[in-house]
């Protein structure tokens, strides 16, 4: 379903130095450095999998999600998702995927949530009957009844996140990319989001790629882990294998094992 082969992506970043002299000099001759965000990344994902994509800050997780969702074009490599190359066939491709960036919103800030949903229905060209049944199901399962007519700017983070997840599923995508969907949520909201992710995976067969720093999300959801550090893929396997290979003792938490792994690979 998803094949990522030998993807690399660098960003050109302007060098910044302090001081007025340097600032004036930079007006005439700007210097750049290259940040290698992804280095030769390859993996494949089967339909119906929930894959946890983990790694420390700046490892390259969001860049990978952006490449897979067609937002960024890689410098090298190929990616085939449901037969599409994400950055080439964008219009047709996005009908098959849902994307949630925990730190950004796809909802219109000043209008009631349901108006954003209606706009997304038009953008994705969703059939009315399919749209109505999805709104009903998502309203029930994500408990949106009391907030769906509220403008997004008046929602709490947890309420907004439930709406974001609903928004990403209005067009019944087969694949869902979740980039830190539980960031900043309280314990109740985290559990609700986790339960929902698990339900749509089990009941609707949605394939899920989840990036998170919360190892409880990973333990609760991910059957498989991809570990990335400094732009390179370092581990691909199940949580159990990771535990049996890397745990120092049976009382070590998954969080401790992951921290130890980050240190071992020198990626923090
Ligand atoms: N638009 C950009 N311009 C320049 N550099 C970028 C850009 N986007 C990402 N980077 C750099 O690429 C590297 C990988 O960033 P990325 O956002 O993919 O990391 P991440 O694993 O998602 O991190 P985090 O856990 O902190 O969200 C970092 O060094 C980052 O500074």
ipTM above 0.90, yes or no: yes
12 part of a folded domain: no
Q: What pLDDT is stored for residue 209 in this prediction? A: 97
Q: What pLDDT is stored for residue 136 in this prediction? A: 94
Q: What ligand 1 atom has the least distance to the C-alpha of 231?
A: 14
Helix pair 239-246, 254-264: axis angle to 10 deg: 70
107 part of a folded domain: no
pLDDT higher for 250 or 9? Answer: 9
* pLDDT tens digits along 93-129: 999 999 999 888 999 999 999 999 999 999 999 999 9
133 part of a folded domain: no
Provide the number of structural domains found in the chain.
1
With a 6 Å cutoff on the Cβ, whether 103 touches ligand 1 is no
Q: What pLDDT is stored for residue 265 in this prediction? A: 85
Q: What pLDDT is stored for residue 124 in this prediction? A: 92
Task: Give per-residue burial for 115-151: e unless 16+ CB within 10 Å, then b.
Answer: bbbeebbeeeebeeeebeebbeebbebbebeebbebe
59 and 234 Cβ atoms separated by less than 8 Å: no
What's the rounded Cα separation, in Å, for the pair 60 and 64?
6
What residues make up the domain containing 255? Answer: 2-6+41-96+173-265
- What's the pLDDT band for 251 if we cut at 50, 70, 90? confident
The CATH code of the domain that includes 65 is 3.40.50.300
Two tokens, residue 202: 């089990």
Give the residue-averaged pLDDT of 23-30.
Answer: 78
85 part of a folded domain: yes
What is the distance in A from the centroid of ligand 1 to the CA of 249? 33
DSSP string, 70-96: TSS--SEEEEEETTB-TTTSHHHHGGG
The pTM (predicted TM-score) of the whole model is 0.91
- What's the pLDDT band for 47 if we cut at 50, 70, 90? very high
Residue 42, pLDDT > 90, answer yes
Q: What pLDDT is stored for residue 146 in this prediction? A: 95
* pLDDT tens digits along 190-240: 998 999 999 999 999 999 999 999 999 999 999 899 999 999 999 999 988
132 part of a folded domain: no
19 part of a folded domain: no
Which one of 15, 53, 62 would you pick to mutate in the ligand 1 pocket, going by the greatest count of ligand atoms within 8 A of its CB? 62
With a 6 Å cutoff on the Cβ, whether 33 touches ligand 1 is no
DSSP string, 165-206: HHHHTTT--SEEEEESTTTT--HHHHHHHHHHHHHHHHHH--
Longest distance between any two alpha carbons in the chain, whole Å: 63
* pLDDT tens digits along 62-80: 999 999 999 999 999 999 9
Q: What pLDDT is stored for residue 23 in this prediction? A: 78
Computed over every residue of the chain, the mean pLDDT equals: 92
68 part of a folded domain: yes
Q: What ligand 1 atom has the least distance to the C-alpha of 55?
A: 21
Q: What pLDDT is stored for residue 175 in this prediction? A: 97
What is the distance in A from the centroid of ligand 1 to the CA of 212? 14
Residue 18, pLDDT > 80, answer no
61 part of a folded domain: yes
């Amino acid at each position: 379903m998803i094949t990522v082969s030998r993807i690399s992506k660098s960003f050109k970043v302007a060098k910044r130095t302090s001081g007025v002299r340097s600032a004036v000099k930079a007006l005439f001759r700007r210097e750049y450095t290259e940040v290698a965000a992804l280095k030769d990344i390859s993996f494949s994902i089967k339909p119906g999998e929930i894959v946890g994509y983990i790694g420390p800050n700046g490892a390259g997780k969001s860049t990978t999600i952006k490449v897979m969702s067609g937002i960024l074009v890689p410098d090298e490599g190929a990616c085939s998702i449901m037969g599409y190359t994400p950055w080439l066939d964008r219009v047709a491709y996005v009908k098959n995927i849902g994307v949630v960036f925990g730190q950004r919103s796809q909802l219109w800030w000043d209008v009631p949530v349901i108006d954003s949903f209606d706009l997304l229905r038009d953008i994705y060209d969703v059939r009315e009957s399919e749209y109505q049944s999805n709104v009903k199901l998502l309203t029930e399962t994500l408990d949106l009844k009391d907030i769906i007519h509220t403008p997004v700017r008046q929602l709490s983070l947890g309420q907004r996140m439930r709406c974001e997840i609903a928004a990403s599923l209005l067009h019944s995508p087969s694949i869902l990319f979740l980039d830190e969907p539980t960031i900043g949520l309280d314990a109740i909201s985290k559990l609700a989001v986790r339960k929902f992710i698990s339900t749509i995976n089990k009941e609707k067969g949605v394939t899920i790629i989840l990036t998170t720093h919360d190892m409880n999300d990973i333990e609760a959801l991910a059957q498989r882990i991809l570990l990335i550090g400094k732009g390179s893929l370092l581990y691909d396997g199940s949580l159990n294998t990771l535990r049996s290979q890397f745990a120092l003792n049976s009382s070590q938490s998954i969080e401790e094992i992951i921290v130890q792994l980050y240190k071992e690979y020198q990626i923090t």
